[in-house]
A and B are shown apart, each in its own frame.
Chain A
Amino acid sequence: MAHIRPLLANVGTTIPERPVTDTANLQPAVSLRDVVRHFGRFAALRGISADFAPGRLYVLLGENGAGKSTLLRIIAGLLAPSRGTVSVLGSPNIRAVATRFGYMGHAPLLYDEMSALENLQYFSALYGINDRARCEDAIRTVGLEPALERRVGQYSQGMRQRISLARAIVHLPELLFLDEPFSNVDLRSAKQMTSLMAKMRDQGTTILVVTHQAALLEPVADECLVLDAGRLVAREKGIPARLLTPYLAEERAALRTSTPRAAAEAQP
């Protein structure tokens, strides 16, 4: 597999063209069959079935509590489904393919008392990689400086997110799961992250992203899946415009009538 350094080329704020790839005949990178997950009596997922083709970028959308993060944690093997089957890279045993996927969670999954480079060196060692240069490349790839000696606990939230992404990609995974990668990240850095995702997808990596900031991924997303109350309610090519702004439109409408003065001004 190519080294991370080639990913650096052309990573910037300009988002590349979406490639046209025929993946119809390839084995799915992830396959879900009737996946159900309960937390006590609460059903977080209610029978999700879906296939994710390799080399594509998927966006999982839905309101808070729709089950997106739970689904991602189940696919990554951090949670077991209450019912149903999950197959990752052709294997029902997710641990057997652990070297081949990366995961970036809600929390940064980093030690606050260590620097970015120390964190990456430790976590890459867990994958059998003892290569300082590769860790430094991964940090540069997400737009940070590996020579930074500050401990991660002193980083801003956005910087932690980017180091967390570096941790997820340092072992060059074929499959990447990203849970809210843009939270607390400024627009320029978010665009860089999007560009990096597009590059990785172009090089064959399958990417599943959970986000509320769908607009950032609209230019590069191959497909989007919409979850609602634990059910998969829609699956579309790209991200249709109607899915980019529904919450914004509702918020505007609510704000317009939230005070008597605003309601009066909203009258035609």
Chain B
Amino acid sequence: MTSAPSLWAITRRSLIKDLRLEWRSKDAINSMLFFALLVVVIFSFGFDPTAEESRRIAGGLLWVAILFATVVALNQTWTRELRNQVLDAYRLSPAPPMALFLSKTVGNFIFVSILEVLMVPLFVVFYNLRSVGPLWQLLVVALLATWALVVNGTFFAALSIRTRSREIMLPLILFPISIPALLAMVDATTSILTGDSSPIFWIRLLAVYDLVFTTLGLILFEPVLNAE
């Protein structure tokens, strides 16, 4: 006789499984990196900004590149669950649906964070960036902004997983919902890079956004998972 497994145990197991699958296939990381790299290089050829201009536009460029790359990764992580109808095996089990949502979100957070770690030095080189504001605030913005992107993205990717044109559906649903977070992350980053104003308001906005959408995602994921 078996008993219902705990939320954390399944979250941990599913996360390890996702990291293992990604390590072996490299589907998400490769496509994300390629896409983000393309955006950075093409933009750098398209503009020839001064150091001051770079500080003003870098926040927008960086987060738009990361947002687009994240969408590519989000589609990959759920597509993997559709192959061989593996998602049905999870639905049949007594494992809590929340655990799947949490593990996917944390997994995507790790993938996007890796992308950021690789992309930021490139941005610094291509756009000759020097931050005027404190760098530690950039780290806080990066963590909150990345979570904002992946928590919504993971939820809406799951929602669009069974639609015929899910590659189009996901950005169509995700981008409008992400506008407040995108504004906050771009403005906070620009504020820190230029040192013109305090980013605290935008950081608070991001924190509230994360809290609201994480809660909603956890509550609403079960009906999304079991939708036919």
With contact pairs A77-B92, A98-B92, A126-B93 given, residues A111 and B86 touching in the complex (Cβ less than 8 Å): yes
Which residues of A in the span 179-214 have a Cβ within 8 Å of any Cβ on B?
none
Let me know if A113 is at the binding interface, CB within 8 A.
yes
Tell me whether A103 and B10 are in contact (CB under 8 A): no
Tell me whether A99 and B24 are in contact (CB under 8 A): no
Let me know if B119 is at the binding interface, CB within 8 A.
no
Which residues of B in the span 30-59 have a Cβ within 8 Å of any Cβ on A?
none
| CA gap between A77 and B91 in the complex, in Å | 9
Min CB–CB distance A88 → chain B (angstroms): 12
Tell me whether A111 and B17 are in contact (CB under 8 A): yes
Query: Given the complex, which residues of A lie within 8 Å of B10, measured CB to CB?
Result: 125-126
Which residues of A in the span 55-91 have a Cβ within 8 Å of any Cβ on B?
76-80
Let me know if B25 is at the binding interface, CB within 8 A.
yes
Q: How large is the interface on B (under 10, 10 to 19, 20 to 34, 35 or more residues)?
A: 20 to 34
Tell me whether A110 and B95 are in contact (CB under 8 A): no
Tell me whether A122 and B84 are in contact (CB under 8 A): no
| CA gap between A106 and B88 in the complex, in Å | 11
Query: Given the complex, which residues of B lie within 8 Å of A114, measured CB to CB?
Result: 17, 20-21
| CA gap between A127 and B84 in the complex, in Å | 20
Indicate the member of A110, A112, A126 with the most B CB atoms within 10 Å: A126
Query: Given the complex, which residues of A lie within 8 Å of B228, measured CB to CB?
Result: 79-80
| CA gap between A111 and B85 in the complex, in Å | 9
Tell me whether A109 and B86 are in contact (CB under 8 A): yes
Let me know if A1 is at the binding interface, CB within 8 A.
yes
Tell me whether A128 and B4 are in contact (CB under 8 A): yes
| CA gap between A85 and B3 in the complex, in Å | 26
With contact pairs A99-B2, A99-B3, A109-B84 given, residues A126 and B17 touching in the complex (Cβ less than 8 Å): no
With contact pairs A99-B1, A99-B94, A126-B5 given, residues A78 and B88 touching in the complex (Cβ less than 8 Å): yes
Which residues of A in the span 87-108 have a Cβ within 8 Å of any Cβ on B?
95, 98-99, 103, 105-108
Let me know if B89 is at the binding interface, CB within 8 A.
yes
Let me know if B211 is at the binding interface, CB within 8 A.
no
Tell me whether A110 and B86 are in contact (CB under 8 A): yes
Min CB–CB distance B97 → chain A (angstroms): 10
A interface residues, tally (CB under 8 Å): 32
Tell me whether B21 and A111 are in contact (CB under 8 A): yes
Which residues of B in the span 92-139 have a Cβ within 8 Å of any Cβ on A?
92-95
Residue of A nearest to B99 (CB): A126
Tell me whether B5 and A113 are in contact (CB under 8 A): no
Which residues of A in the span 227-249 have a Cβ within 8 Å of any Cβ on B?
none
Cross-chain contact of B84 among A111, A123, A128 (Cβ < 8 A):
A111
With contact pairs A98-B92, A113-B21, A114-B20 given, residues A125 and B86 touching in the complex (Cβ less than 8 Å): no
CB-defined interface of A100-143 with B at 8 Å, one 1/0 digit per residue? 00010111111111100010001101111100000000000000
Tell me whether B84 and A95 are in contact (CB under 8 A): no
Query: Given the complex, which residues of B lie within 8 Å of A98, measured CB to CB?
Result: 92-94
Let me know if B83 is at the binding interface, CB within 8 A.
yes
Let me know if B9 is at the binding interface, CB within 8 A.
yes
Indicate the member of B2, B3, B17 with the most A CB atoms within 10 Å: B2
Min CB–CB distance B31 → chain A (angstroms): 16
| CA gap between A151 and B25 in the complex, in Å | 12
Tell me whether B85 and A125 are in contact (CB under 8 A): no
Residue of A nearest to B96 (CB): A126
Tell me whether A105 and B95 are in contact (CB under 8 A): no
Query: Given the complex, which residues of B lie within 8 Å of A118, measured CB to CB?
Result: 20
Tell me whether B94 and A127 are in contact (CB under 8 A): yes
Let me know if B162 is at the binding interface, CB within 8 A.
no
Let me know if A162 is at the binding interface, CB within 8 A.
no
| CA gap between A122 and B18 in the complex, in Å | 11
| CA gap between A106 and B84 in the complex, in Å | 9
Query: Given the complex, which residues of B lie within 8 Å of A171, measured CB to CB?
Result: 2
| CA gap between A107 and B92 in the complex, in Å | 14
Min CB–CB distance A135 → chain B (angstroms): 13
| CA gap between A108 and B88 in the complex, in Å | 10
Query: Given the complex, which residues of A lie within 8 Å of B13, measured CB to CB?
Result: 122, 125-126
The 8 nearest A-B residue pairs measured at CB:
A126-B93, A128-B5, A107-B85, A109-B89, A98-B94, A126-B95, A99-B2, A127-B2
Q: Which residues of B contact A (CB under 8 A)?
A: 1-5, 9-10, 13-14, 17, 20-21, 24-25, 80, 83-86, 88-95, 228
